[in-house]
Protein backbone atom coordinates (compact mmCIF):
# COMPACT_ATOMS: atom_id res chain seq x y z
CA UNK A 1 0.00 0.00 0.00
CA UNK A 2 1.27 3.42 -0.82
CA UNK A 3 0.75 6.73 0.88
CA UNK A 4 0.10 10.03 -0.82
CA UNK A 5 3.23 11.48 -2.30
CA UNK A 6 5.14 13.64 0.15
CA UNK A 7 4.28 17.32 0.35
CA UNK A 8 1.31 17.19 -1.99
CA UNK A 9 -1.16 17.65 0.80
CA UNK A 10 0.75 20.64 2.12
CA UNK A 11 0.93 22.47 -1.17
CA UNK A 12 -1.20 25.56 -1.50
CA UNK A 13 -3.31 25.12 -4.57
CA UNK A 14 -4.69 28.61 -4.70
CA UNK A 15 -3.10 30.79 -7.34
CA UNK A 16 -0.13 32.86 -6.26
CA UNK A 17 -1.13 36.54 -5.89
CA UNK A 18 -1.61 38.20 -9.26
CA UNK A 19 1.70 39.95 -9.71
CA UNK A 20 1.89 38.55 -13.22
CA UNK A 21 -1.26 40.42 -14.13
CA UNK A 22 0.13 43.81 -13.25
CA UNK A 23 3.29 45.61 -14.14
CA UNK A 24 4.18 45.52 -10.47
CA UNK A 25 4.77 49.25 -10.40
CA UNK A 26 1.50 51.03 -10.92
CA UNK A 27 -0.88 48.09 -10.73
CA UNK A 28 -2.04 48.71 -14.29
CA UNK A 29 -2.77 45.67 -16.45
CA UNK A 30 0.31 44.46 -18.28
CA UNK A 31 0.73 43.35 -21.87
CA UNK A 32 0.43 39.81 -20.54
CA UNK A 33 -3.19 40.32 -19.65
CA UNK A 34 -4.03 42.02 -22.91
CA UNK A 35 -2.44 39.24 -24.92
CA UNK A 36 -4.05 36.51 -22.80
CA UNK A 37 -7.38 37.83 -23.97
CA UNK A 38 -6.49 37.63 -27.61
CA UNK A 39 -7.21 33.90 -27.98
CA UNK A 40 -3.74 33.11 -29.28
CA UNK A 41 -2.23 29.66 -28.60
CA UNK A 42 -0.31 29.65 -25.36
CA UNK A 43 3.19 28.89 -26.61
CA UNK A 44 4.27 28.08 -30.13
CA UNK A 45 7.67 27.18 -31.45
CA UNK A 46 7.75 27.43 -35.19
CA UNK A 47 10.57 25.97 -37.31
CA UNK A 48 12.96 26.61 -34.46
CA UNK A 49 16.63 26.11 -35.31
CA UNK A 50 19.85 26.90 -33.48
CA UNK A 51 23.46 26.08 -34.33
CA UNK A 52 26.79 26.27 -32.52
CA UNK A 53 29.83 27.04 -34.65
CA UNK A 54 28.00 26.00 -37.78
CA UNK A 55 26.86 22.68 -36.29
CA UNK A 56 23.08 22.31 -36.03
CA UNK A 57 21.98 21.72 -32.45
CA UNK A 58 18.25 22.21 -32.87
CA UNK A 59 16.75 21.71 -36.29
CA UNK A 60 13.33 22.79 -37.51
CA UNK A 61 11.35 22.14 -34.31
CA UNK A 62 7.70 23.09 -34.47
CA UNK A 63 5.25 22.48 -31.63
CA UNK A 64 2.40 24.20 -29.80
CA UNK A 65 2.27 23.87 -26.03
CA UNK A 66 -0.88 24.07 -23.94
CA UNK A 67 -1.35 26.37 -20.95
CA UNK A 68 -1.84 25.18 -17.37
CA UNK A 69 -0.27 21.77 -17.91
CA UNK A 70 3.13 20.23 -17.37
CA UNK A 71 4.97 19.55 -20.61
CA UNK A 72 8.05 17.35 -20.34
CA UNK A 73 11.00 17.63 -22.71
CA UNK A 74 12.84 14.31 -22.98
CA UNK A 75 15.57 12.97 -25.21
CA UNK A 76 19.05 11.48 -25.04
CA UNK A 77 22.08 13.45 -23.87
CA UNK A 78 22.94 16.20 -26.32
CA UNK A 79 19.62 16.00 -28.15
CA UNK A 80 18.95 19.72 -27.62
CA UNK A 81 16.65 19.82 -24.57
CA UNK A 82 18.39 22.67 -22.75
CA UNK A 83 18.79 24.53 -26.03
CA UNK A 84 15.06 24.25 -26.68
CA UNK A 85 14.27 25.45 -23.15
CA UNK A 86 16.58 28.46 -23.55
CA UNK A 87 15.04 29.31 -26.91
CA UNK A 88 11.52 29.05 -25.47
CA UNK A 89 12.51 31.36 -22.61
CA UNK A 90 14.22 33.90 -24.86
CA UNK A 91 17.67 33.27 -23.39
CA UNK A 92 19.01 32.23 -26.77
CA UNK A 93 18.02 33.77 -30.07
CA UNK A 94 17.06 31.26 -32.75
CA UNK A 95 19.07 31.11 -35.97
CA UNK A 96 15.75 30.55 -37.63
CA UNK A 97 12.15 30.33 -36.49
CA UNK A 98 10.06 31.98 -33.82
CA UNK A 99 8.74 31.45 -30.31
CA UNK A 100 5.43 33.10 -29.52
CA UNK A 101 3.94 33.42 -26.04
CA UNK A 102 0.25 34.15 -26.49
CA UNK A 103 1.06 35.45 -29.94
CA UNK A 104 3.94 37.70 -28.91
CA UNK A 105 7.42 36.99 -30.22
CA UNK A 106 9.45 36.17 -27.11
CA UNK A 107 12.67 37.34 -28.73
CA UNK A 108 11.26 40.75 -29.57
CA UNK A 109 9.81 41.38 -26.12
CA UNK A 110 11.50 43.99 -23.93
CA UNK A 111 13.73 41.99 -21.59
CA UNK A 112 11.97 43.26 -18.48
CA UNK A 113 8.59 42.15 -19.76
CA UNK A 114 10.06 38.77 -20.68
CA UNK A 115 11.53 38.45 -17.18
CA UNK A 116 8.08 39.16 -15.74
CA UNK A 117 6.39 36.57 -17.92
CA UNK A 118 8.92 33.73 -18.09
CA UNK A 119 10.87 32.18 -15.21
CA UNK A 120 13.69 29.70 -15.69
CA UNK A 121 15.14 27.41 -13.04
CA UNK A 122 18.52 26.36 -14.40
CA UNK A 123 20.20 22.98 -14.16
CA UNK A 124 22.98 24.02 -11.79
CA UNK A 125 21.90 27.29 -10.31
CA UNK A 126 24.61 28.76 -8.12
CA UNK A 127 24.84 31.89 -6.09
CA UNK A 128 28.22 32.75 -4.67
CA UNK A 129 27.25 35.85 -2.72
CA UNK A 130 26.69 35.58 0.99
CA UNK A 131 22.91 35.73 0.91
CA UNK A 132 20.13 34.28 2.99
CA UNK A 133 17.49 32.06 1.45
CA UNK A 134 15.01 34.92 1.66
CA UNK A 135 17.44 37.22 -0.19
CA UNK A 136 17.75 34.71 -3.02
CA UNK A 137 13.99 34.19 -3.27
CA UNK A 138 13.51 37.98 -3.33
CA UNK A 139 15.62 38.14 -6.49
CA UNK A 140 12.48 36.94 -8.27
CA UNK A 141 10.91 40.34 -7.61
CA UNK A 142 13.64 42.25 -9.43
CA UNK A 143 11.86 42.37 -12.82
CA UNK A 144 8.86 43.94 -11.09
CA UNK A 145 10.67 46.58 -9.05
CA UNK A 146 12.12 48.77 -11.75
CA UNK A 147 15.63 50.14 -11.88
CA UNK A 148 17.79 50.85 -8.88
CA UNK A 149 16.97 52.66 -6.61
CA UNK A 150 13.88 50.49 -6.49
CA UNK A 151 10.66 52.44 -6.40
CA UNK A 152 8.72 49.39 -5.29
CA UNK A 153 9.31 47.83 -1.87
CA UNK A 154 9.80 44.09 -1.42
CA UNK A 155 6.42 42.38 -1.27
CA UNK A 156 6.92 40.41 1.94
CA UNK A 157 3.57 38.63 1.79
CA UNK A 158 4.42 37.39 -1.66
CA UNK A 159 7.79 36.06 -0.50
CA UNK A 160 6.16 34.37 2.49
CA UNK A 161 3.57 32.73 0.24
CA UNK A 162 6.12 31.43 -2.26
CA UNK A 163 8.32 30.00 0.48
CA UNK A 164 5.39 28.30 2.16
CA UNK A 165 4.38 26.72 -1.15
CA UNK A 166 7.74 25.00 -1.52
CA UNK A 167 8.07 24.40 2.23
CA UNK A 168 11.13 26.59 2.63
CA UNK A 169 9.67 29.03 5.16
CA UNK A 170 11.46 27.42 8.08
CA UNK A 171 14.80 27.97 6.34
CA UNK A 172 14.33 31.54 5.19
CA UNK A 173 17.09 33.02 7.37
CA UNK A 174 19.62 30.32 6.62
CA UNK A 175 22.77 31.22 4.70
CA UNK A 176 22.47 30.09 1.07
CA UNK A 177 25.84 28.36 1.27
CA UNK A 178 24.58 25.97 3.94
CA UNK A 179 21.65 24.56 1.93
CA UNK A 180 21.58 21.06 0.48
CA UNK A 181 21.09 20.61 -3.26
CA UNK A 182 17.43 19.76 -2.82
CA UNK A 183 16.80 22.76 -0.57
CA UNK A 184 18.47 25.04 -3.11
CA UNK A 185 16.30 23.60 -5.84
CA UNK A 186 13.16 24.35 -3.84
CA UNK A 187 14.39 27.88 -3.05
CA UNK A 188 15.02 28.51 -6.73
CA UNK A 189 11.48 27.35 -7.42
CA UNK A 190 10.25 29.86 -4.83
CA UNK A 191 12.29 32.57 -6.59
CA UNK A 192 10.61 31.64 -9.86
CA UNK A 193 7.18 31.72 -8.20
CA UNK A 194 7.58 35.22 -6.78
CA UNK A 195 8.45 36.26 -10.30
CA UNK A 196 4.79 35.44 -11.05
CA UNK A 197 5.45 34.07 -14.54
CA UNK A 198 2.97 32.89 -17.14
CA UNK A 199 5.52 30.25 -18.15
CA UNK A 200 7.74 28.25 -15.82
CA UNK A 201 10.78 26.55 -17.36
CA UNK A 202 12.70 23.93 -15.38
CA UNK A 203 15.92 22.32 -16.58
CA UNK A 204 16.43 18.89 -15.02
CA UNK A 205 15.15 20.02 -11.61
CA UNK A 206 15.36 16.53 -10.12
CA UNK A 207 19.00 15.94 -11.05
CA UNK A 208 20.50 16.06 -7.60
CA UNK A 209 17.50 14.89 -5.62
CA UNK A 210 16.94 11.52 -3.97
CA UNK A 211 13.85 9.64 -5.09
CA UNK A 212 11.63 10.98 -2.29
CA UNK A 213 12.58 14.56 -3.08
CA UNK A 214 12.17 13.93 -6.82
CA UNK A 215 8.58 12.85 -6.20
CA UNK A 216 8.02 15.67 -3.75
CA UNK A 217 9.38 18.33 -6.09
CA UNK A 218 7.42 17.15 -9.11
CA UNK A 219 4.26 16.78 -7.03
CA UNK A 220 4.68 20.40 -6.01
CA UNK A 221 5.04 21.42 -9.65
CA UNK A 222 1.87 19.55 -10.65
CA UNK A 223 -0.08 20.99 -7.70
CA UNK A 224 0.90 24.55 -8.66
CA UNK A 225 -1.15 24.12 -11.84
CA UNK A 226 1.14 26.49 -13.77
CA UNK A 227 2.08 26.33 -17.43
CA UNK A 228 5.35 24.45 -17.04
CA UNK A 229 7.95 23.04 -19.39
CA UNK A 230 10.35 20.69 -17.63
CA UNK A 231 13.38 18.85 -18.97
CA UNK A 232 13.55 15.38 -17.44
CA UNK A 233 15.83 12.41 -17.97
CA UNK A 234 13.81 9.80 -16.12
CA UNK A 235 11.11 8.55 -18.46
CA UNK A 236 9.07 7.03 -15.65
CA UNK A 237 8.98 10.38 -13.84
CA UNK A 238 8.02 12.03 -17.12
CA UNK A 239 5.26 9.44 -17.57
CA UNK A 240 3.97 10.01 -14.04
CA UNK A 241 4.05 13.80 -13.87
CA UNK A 242 3.80 15.24 -17.38
CA UNK A 243 0.56 15.77 -19.28
CA UNK A 244 2.32 16.27 -22.60
CA UNK A 245 5.75 15.39 -23.92
CA UNK A 246 8.14 16.82 -26.46
CA UNK A 247 10.68 14.20 -27.51
CA UNK A 248 13.93 15.34 -29.11
CA UNK A 249 16.38 13.15 -30.93
CA UNK A 250 19.55 14.57 -32.44
CA UNK A 251 18.15 18.10 -32.36
CA UNK A 252 14.96 17.15 -34.18
CA UNK A 253 11.44 16.67 -32.93
CA UNK A 254 10.82 12.93 -32.68
CA UNK A 255 7.36 13.15 -31.11
CA UNK A 256 5.00 15.58 -29.43
CA UNK A 257 1.63 15.10 -27.79
CA UNK A 258 -0.07 13.62 -24.74
CA UNK A 259 2.34 11.48 -22.74
CA UNK A 260 0.13 8.40 -23.04
CA UNK A 261 0.16 8.69 -26.83
CA UNK A 262 3.81 9.57 -27.23
CA UNK A 263 5.46 7.08 -24.89
CA UNK A 264 5.62 3.67 -26.52
CA UNK A 265 8.14 0.84 -26.40
CA UNK A 266 9.06 1.54 -30.02
CA UNK A 267 9.75 5.19 -29.30
CA UNK A 268 11.90 4.40 -26.27
CA UNK A 269 13.85 1.80 -28.27
CA UNK A 270 14.32 4.03 -31.28
CA UNK A 271 15.14 7.30 -29.53
CA UNK A 272 16.92 6.07 -26.40
CA UNK A 273 18.21 2.66 -27.53
CA UNK A 274 16.56 1.02 -24.54
CA UNK A 275 14.10 -1.85 -24.38
CA UNK A 276 11.29 -0.81 -22.05
CA UNK A 277 7.82 -1.88 -21.05
CA UNK A 278 5.31 0.96 -21.29
CA UNK A 279 1.98 0.27 -19.66
CA UNK A 280 -0.95 2.20 -18.30
CA UNK A 281 -1.96 0.62 -15.01
CA UNK A 282 -2.73 2.91 -12.08
CA UNK A 283 -0.73 5.44 -14.08
CA UNK A 284 1.46 5.51 -17.16
CA UNK A 285 4.61 3.55 -16.31
CA UNK A 286 7.91 3.03 -18.09
CA UNK A 287 10.08 0.15 -16.89
CA UNK A 288 13.42 -0.35 -18.59
CA UNK A 289 14.49 -3.89 -19.42
CA UNK A 290 17.87 -3.49 -21.06
CA UNK A 291 19.68 -2.03 -24.02
CA UNK A 292 17.97 -2.24 -27.39
CA UNK A 293 19.39 -2.39 -30.87
CA UNK A 294 18.26 0.93 -32.33
CA UNK A 295 18.91 -0.30 -35.88
CA UNK A 296 16.62 -3.28 -35.36
CA UNK A 297 13.75 -1.04 -34.20
CA UNK A 298 11.32 0.20 -36.85
CA UNK A 299 11.92 3.85 -37.75
CA UNK A 300 9.60 6.29 -36.09
CA UNK A 301 7.03 7.94 -38.20
CA UNK A 302 6.08 11.49 -37.35
CA UNK A 303 4.48 10.95 -34.00
CA UNK A 304 3.40 14.51 -33.44
CA UNK A 305 -0.19 14.22 -32.37
CA UNK A 306 -2.89 16.77 -31.97
CA UNK A 307 -3.78 17.44 -28.38
CA UNK A 308 -7.02 15.63 -27.68
CA UNK A 309 -7.07 14.86 -24.01
CA UNK A 310 -6.78 17.09 -20.97
CA UNK A 311 -6.54 14.32 -18.40
CA UNK A 312 -4.08 14.98 -15.60
CA UNK A 313 -1.57 12.31 -14.70
CA UNK A 314 -2.12 10.22 -11.63
CA UNK A 315 0.65 11.11 -9.27
CA UNK A 316 0.02 8.74 -6.43
CA UNK A 317 1.46 5.28 -6.35
CA UNK A 318 4.62 3.44 -5.58
CA UNK A 319 7.94 3.75 -7.31
CA UNK A 320 8.48 0.73 -9.48
N1 LIG B 1 27.20 27.14 -26.78
C2 LIG B 1 27.47 25.96 -27.36
N3 LIG B 1 28.57 25.77 -28.11
C4 LIG B 1 28.84 24.59 -28.69
N5 LIG B 1 28.05 23.51 -28.59
C6 LIG B 1 26.92 23.63 -27.86
C7 LIG B 1 26.57 24.84 -27.20
N8 LIG B 1 25.40 24.67 -26.56
C9 LIG B 1 25.04 23.39 -26.79
N10 LIG B 1 25.96 22.77 -27.58
C11 LIG B 1 25.91 21.38 -28.03
O12 LIG B 1 24.61 21.16 -28.52
C13 LIG B 1 24.17 19.86 -28.18
C14 LIG B 1 22.86 19.93 -27.43
O15 LIG B 1 23.10 20.54 -26.17
P16 LIG B 1 21.97 20.64 -25.08
O17 LIG B 1 22.62 21.08 -23.81
O18 LIG B 1 20.85 21.44 -25.60
O19 LIG B 1 21.53 19.12 -24.99
P20 LIG B 1 20.70 18.37 -23.86
O21 LIG B 1 19.74 17.48 -24.57
O22 LIG B 1 20.15 19.32 -22.88
O23 LIG B 1 21.86 17.50 -23.22
P24 LIG B 1 21.99 16.78 -21.76
O25 LIG B 1 20.90 15.77 -21.67
O26 LIG B 1 23.34 16.13 -21.85
O27 LIG B 1 21.92 17.85 -20.71
C28 LIG B 1 25.29 19.21 -27.39
O29 LIG B 1 26.06 18.40 -28.25
C30 LIG B 1 26.09 20.40 -26.91
O31 LIG B 1 27.45 20.06 -26.76
Q: Are 316 and 2 in contact (CB under 8 A)?
A: yes
Does a structural domain hold residue 95? yes
Q: What is the pLDDT of residue 148?
A: 56
Yes or no: say if 319 and 9 are a contact pair by the CB < 8 Å rule: no
Atom of ligand 1 nearest to the CA of 84: 18
Residues 127-165: tens digit of each pLDDT = 666 899 999 998 888 877 665 555 666 788 989 999 998
**Ligand 1 midpoint to CA 79 (Å):** 7
- For the domain that residue 120 is a member of, what is the CATH number? 3.40.50.300
- For a ligand 1 pocket test, name from 54, 73, 80, 92 the mutation site with the most ligand atoms within 8 angstroms of its C-beta: 80
Is residue 66 a part of any domain in this protein? yes
> How many A from CA of 231 to the centre of ligand 1?
13
Q: How far apart are CA 147 and CA 189, in angstroms?
A: 24
Residue 163 CA to ligand 1 centre (angstroms): 32
Compute the distance from residue 89 Cα to the ligand 1 centre, in Å.
16
For the chain, how many structural domains are there in total? 1
Residues spanned by the domain of 253: 8-262
Query: pLDDT per residue over 160-179, tens digit each?
Result: 999 998 889 999 999 998 98
Does residue 231 lie in a domain region? yes
pTM for this structure?
Answer: 0.84
Residue 175 lies in a domain: yes
| 91 located within any domain | yes
The SS3 call for residue 229 is strand
CA distance 313 to 283: 7
- Residue 182 inside a domain? The answer is yes
SS3 per-residue string spanning 150-165: CCCCCCHHHHHHHHHH
Question: Could you give the CA distance from residue 117 to residue 40 in angstroms, rounded to a whole number?
Answer: 16
Going by alpha carbons, the residue nearest to atom 23 of ligand 1 is 78
Q: What are phi and psi for residue 185, nearest 5 degrees?
A: -60, -40
Can you give the pLDDT at residue 246? 98
**Coil, helix or strand at residue 242:** coil
Mutate to test the pocket of ligand 1, among 48, 51, 52 (most ligand atoms within 8 A of CB): 52
Q: How many CB atoms lie within 10 A of CB 176?
A: 19
Give a yes or no: residue 299 inside a domain: no
Q: Residues near ligand 1 with C-beta < 6 Å? A: 52-53, 57, 75, 77-83
Per-residue pLDDT tens digits of the chain, which is 320 residues long = 444 443 333 344 444 444 433 333 222 234 444 445 468 899 999 999 999 999 999 999 999 999 999 999 999 999 999 999 999 999 999 999 999 999 999 999 999 899 999 999 987 656 666 899 999 998 888 877 665 555 666 788 989 999 998 889 999 999 998 988 888 989 999 999 999 999 999 999 998 788 998 999 999 999 999 999 999 999 999 999 999 999 999 999 999 999 999 999 999 999 999 999 999 999 999 999 999 987 777 666 544 443 333 333 322 232 32
Evaluate whether residue 12 is within a structural domain.
yes
Amino acid sequence: MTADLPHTSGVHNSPIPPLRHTNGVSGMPSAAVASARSGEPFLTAERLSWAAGGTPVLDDVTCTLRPDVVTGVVGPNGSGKTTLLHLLGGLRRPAYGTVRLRGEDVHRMPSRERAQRVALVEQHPSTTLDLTVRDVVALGLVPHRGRWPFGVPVDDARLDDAMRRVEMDALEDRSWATLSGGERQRAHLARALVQGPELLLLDEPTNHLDVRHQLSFLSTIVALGMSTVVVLHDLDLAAAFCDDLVVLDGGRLAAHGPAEDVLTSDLVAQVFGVAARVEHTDRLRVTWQGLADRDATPRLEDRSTARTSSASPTVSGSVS
